[in-house]
Each structure stands twice: as structure tokens, then as C-alpha cells.
């Protein structure tokens, strides 16, 4: 369990670590896979995602699938998809690509990319997508989040506890393009929707190396955060997105106790309310204790959490921005995909408080 003896807040209770929450999640999946194999699969993939960040090798995220243990169910082939696209056009603000993770290149780029982005199909390359300079495809602020989520997504797709229907289930993520594209085209946000697929020449479904991408370019943008989503059937959608959240949190390693405090802070700007709400959730389990006080909450926010948020942000956002207030701390953790906490994960976190 995670404890922090140097801080008075919550000192008489203990909070589950992210690894313990992953184990609890696994128990609820009723999977035939052994727990040790599940944890070994997670740790090896998380290590790869950490390495791609530390060594600045974003293409490594896509190589995670080379050790795939997932189960894939066949459907329409790659050539049949291209044949369909040659006859039908879905949206004026969309274009399509087919990417091969084994060859690390696009096999097909829709000619319409030139009309939409002002970039020829020959220029639209994986090198451009992975370029972290001001000339790269992705806005520099969004870039580290897109790459981190890509590593996690490939980890999910290659894990042994899910089955994926080829060309039916998909992973989507939205990001802002670079400022030059926005100024030239008016595009403020791009959604990339990826379907696993196979070619007629490669029937080996132990590793569908291709994915078919639908890119949708939007000209309006509200409050924006890079956040991914898997879409499958109802139950698997919940299970996959829950694991996606937990893997991201495990990778980043921000303490669960502090995250719960900031999650409550989203709903109230008064430290007293934060303390009362946390105590109420804990006491609902019949523990009859009040580990949080108004003063200890305020002290922890000011003396500990802001510093921890700032350190975390520098690692995972490539940003020197420091958190000087709770709203800034919340904004940073939203950008990292840690806030708000999904309700089912939050329930699990409170259930594990002892």
C-alpha cells in the first residue's frame, strides 16, 4: 500500500498502489490468463513505453505489437477496404491511410490529403507524423501525449486478455495539428481512428501488422485535451478503457492519495468540502474515521501536491510549467489523462483504502 508518513493528511489510512489496482482490475475480468502472466505482460510493455520516452524513439511504440499476445478475429481484408474507398467517399473533411507497423511506413495515403492538409500523399509519411519539431504534423504541446498514448494503445492491443474483431473495433485519439497547418487550413483538431486490419497476402492473425486509419479534420475546438478511447462491444469497451486508464496511471506513477484529493477538488474550491467528501467516502465503508482535515488538505495542496504535479509534468509533457495553484494542478493532470478519474476506477480506489 502507498503511504506518506511525512504528511499528516490521511496518515492513519493506506491507499492502494497502481500495481495493486491493476491486480484488483484483473481479478474482475475473469480471464483464463494467469495473474503472473498478466503482470509480466504489463511490466514488459510499460518498460518499452518508458524507454521510448527516455531515449526519444517514438517509433518504438509501434514495435510493441511485434510481441503481440492478443486474439484477433478476421473480417474484411485490406484490399477489399481499398476497393470500397475507391467507389465511395464518406466525408468531405476525411482522408484515409493504411499503415504497416512491421515496415514502419504508410502503404496507402488517400490523395485527398493534399486537398485537406495541403500536403501531397508522398509527403504524408510516418517520419512527418513522428517529427517533434515545429514543422512536424502534431502540435508540439500535444506530441508527447499522443506518443505516450500510442505506446499504451499498442500495449493494450497486444495483451493476452482481449479479443479484437479485425476492421470492426477501433482506437481513436484527437490532437491539434501544428500551427502552420491551422493558419493555412483553419483545421484546429484532427481525430485519428485506427482499425486493425490484414492484407490478402498475410493471413497470420497472430499479428495483424496493418491498421486502417480514418482521419477527420475539424474546424471548431472547445476546451481540448488529448485523450484516447477504444470502441468495442459494451462490456469490452468498458474493460479496455479502464485498463488503458490504469496503465497510463501506472506508467506516470502519480500517488493515488493525491490524485483522489485533486479529483475531489474539481467539484469544490473549499478545502473543508474536499476533506468532508473524502472522509464521507471512507466512512461509508463503516470505518468511522476522519483522516482528512481542512488544514491538512490545504497544507498538502500547497506544500506537497503542487511540487509533485510540477515534477510529473516536466517528465511527461516535456514542459517546464509549474503548478502554482490547485486549478493549475488539475489542468496539468487532465492533460496527462489522470483526471477526472473514471467512476469505476475511483470506486475501486476507495474500496482499497485501509
**pLDDT tens digits along 214-223:** 999 999 877 7
Q: What percent of the chain has pLDDT over 70?
A: 83
pLDDT average, residue stretch 326-349 = 96
Which run of H or E residues covers position 167?
A: none
Q: Band the pLDDT of 255: cuts 50, 70, 90.
A: very high
pLDDT at 316 over 90: yes
Q: In what order do the strands lie in the sheet with 105-109?
A: 105-109, 94-100, 210-218, 189-197, 170-175, 229-231
Helix ranges, the chain (H): 18-29, 35-54, 60-63, 78-87, 112-117, 126-129, 143-157, 179-185, 234-252, 256-267, 271-283, 294-300, 306-316, 326-335, 343-351
Average the pLDDT over each of 38-52, 138-152, 292-306, 329-343 and give the range with the smallest value: 38-52
pLDDT average, residue stretch 113-128 = 93
* Residue 54 or residue 313, greater confidence: 313
- Match 493532470 to its residue by C-alpha cell: 333
* Residue 346 or residue 8, greater confidence: 346
Q: Band the pLDDT of 202: cuts 50, 70, 90.
A: low
Q: Which of 183, 215, 209, 214 is nearest to 196 (CA)?
A: 209
Which run of H or E residues covers position 178?
A: none
- For residue 43, what are the CA distances in angstroms to 46, 90, 222, 247, 288? 5, 40, 36, 10, 37
Query: Virtual CA dihedral for 308, 311, 317, 318, nearest 10 degrees?
Result: 170
Q: Band the pLDDT of 196: cuts 50, 70, 90.
A: confident
Q: How far apart are CA 347 and CA 172, in angstroms?
A: 26
Peptide bond into 295 cis (omega under 30): no
Fold of 34-252: Beta-Lactamase (3.30.450)
**Burial degree of 84 (CB within 10 A; 0-12, 13-18, 19+):** exposed
pLDDT at 178 over 80: yes
Q: Which of 39, 41, 3, 40 is nearest to 21 (CA)?
A: 39
Per-residue pLDDT tens over the stretch 7-38: 446 667 889 999 999 999 999 887 788 899 88
Q: Beta-carbon neighbour count of residue 34 at 10 Å?
A: 11
pLDDT at 251 over 80: yes
- Match 509549474 to its residue by C-alpha cell: 322
CATH 3.30.450.20 maps onto the chain at 34-252
pLDDT average, residue stretch 170-175 = 93
Question: What's residue 61's pLDDT?
Answer: 58
Given a contact cutoff of 8 angstroms between Cβ atoms, the answer to whether 232 and 169 are in contact is yes
- Cα atoms in the Cβ-side hemisphere of radius 13 Å centred on 183: 4
* Residue 208 or residue 261, greater confidence: 261
Question: What's residue 205's pLDDT?
Answer: 47
pLDDT winner (highest mean) among 151-160, 162-171, 296-305, 311-320:
296-305
* Residue 48 or residue 265, greater confidence: 265
Average the pLDDT over each of 157-166, 196-205, 237-246 and give the range with the smallest value: 196-205
Residue 333 CB partners (closer than 8 Å, separation 6+) = 254, 259, 262, 309, 312, 339
Question: What's residue 342's pLDDT?
Answer: 95
- Average pLDDT along the chain: 85
Q: Which of 211, 79, 108, 81 is nearest to 158 (CA)?
A: 211
**Burial degree of 201 (CB within 10 A; 0-12, 13-18, 19+):** exposed
Question: What's residue 2's pLDDT?
Answer: 43
Question: What's residue 4's pLDDT?
Answer: 41
Per-residue cell: 261 = 484529493
Amino acid at each position: 500500500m502507498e503511504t506518506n508518513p511525512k504528511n499528516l493528511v490521511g496518515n492513519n489510512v493506506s491507499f492502494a498502489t497502481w500495481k495493486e489496482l491493476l491486480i484488483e482490475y484483473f481479478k474482475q475480468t475473469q480471464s483464463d490468463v494467469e495473474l503472473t502472466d498478466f503482470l509480466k505482460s504489463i511490466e514488459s510493455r510499460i518498460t518499452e513505453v518508458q524507454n521510448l520516452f527516455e531515449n526519444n524513439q517514438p517509433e518504438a511504440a509501434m514495435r510493441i505489437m511485434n510481441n503481440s499476445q492478443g486474439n484477433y478475429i478476421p473480417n474484411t481484408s485490406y484490399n477489399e477496404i481499398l476497393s470500397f474507398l475507391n467507389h465511395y467517399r464518406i466525408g468531405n473533411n476525411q482522408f484515409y491511410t493504411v499503415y504497416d507497423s512491421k515496415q514502419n511506413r504508410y502503404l496507402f495515403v488517400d490523395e485527398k490529403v493534399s486537398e485537406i492538409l495541403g500536403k501531397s500523399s508522398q509527403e504524408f509519411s510516418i517520419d512527418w507524423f513522428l517529427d517533434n519539431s515545429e514543422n512536424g504534423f502534431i502540435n508540439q504541446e500535444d506530441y508527447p501525449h499522443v506518443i505516450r498514448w500510442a505506446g499504451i494503445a499498442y500495449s493494450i492491443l497486444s495483451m493476452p486478455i482481449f479479443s479484437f474483431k479485425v476492421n470492426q473495433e477501433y482506437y481513436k485519439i484527437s490532437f491539434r495539428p501544428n500551427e502552420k497547418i491551422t493558419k493555412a487550413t483553419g483545421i484546429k483538431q484532427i481525430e485519428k481512428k485506427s482499425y486493425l486490419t490484414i492484407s490478402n497476402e498475410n493471413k497470420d492473425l497472430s499479428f495483424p501488422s496493418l491498421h486502417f486509419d480514418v482521419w477527420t479534420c475539424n474546424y471548431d475546438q472547445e476546451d481540448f485535451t488529448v485523450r484516447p478511447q477504444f470502441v468495442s462491444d459494451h462490456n469490452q469497451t468498458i474493460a479496455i478503457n479502464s485498463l488503458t486508464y490504469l496503465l497510463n496511471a501506472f506508467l506516470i506513477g502519480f500517488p493515488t492519495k493525491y490524485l483522489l484529493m485533486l479529483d475531489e477538488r474539481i467539484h469544490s474550491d473549499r478545502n473543508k468540502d474536499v476533506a468532508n467528501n473524502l472522509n464521507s467516502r471512507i466512512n461509508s465503508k463503516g470505518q468511522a474515521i476522519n483522516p482528512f482535515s481542512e488544514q491538512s488538505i490545504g497544507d498538502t495542496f500547497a506544500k506537497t501536491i503542487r511540487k509533485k504535479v510540477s515534477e510529473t509534468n516536466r517528465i511527461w509533457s516535456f514542459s517546464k510549467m509549474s503548478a502554482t495553484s490547485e486549478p493549475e494542478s488539475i489542468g496539468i493532470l487532465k492533460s496527462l489523462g489522470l483526471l477526472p478519474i473514471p467512476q469505476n476506477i475511483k470506486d475501486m480506489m476507495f474500496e482499497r483504502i485501509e
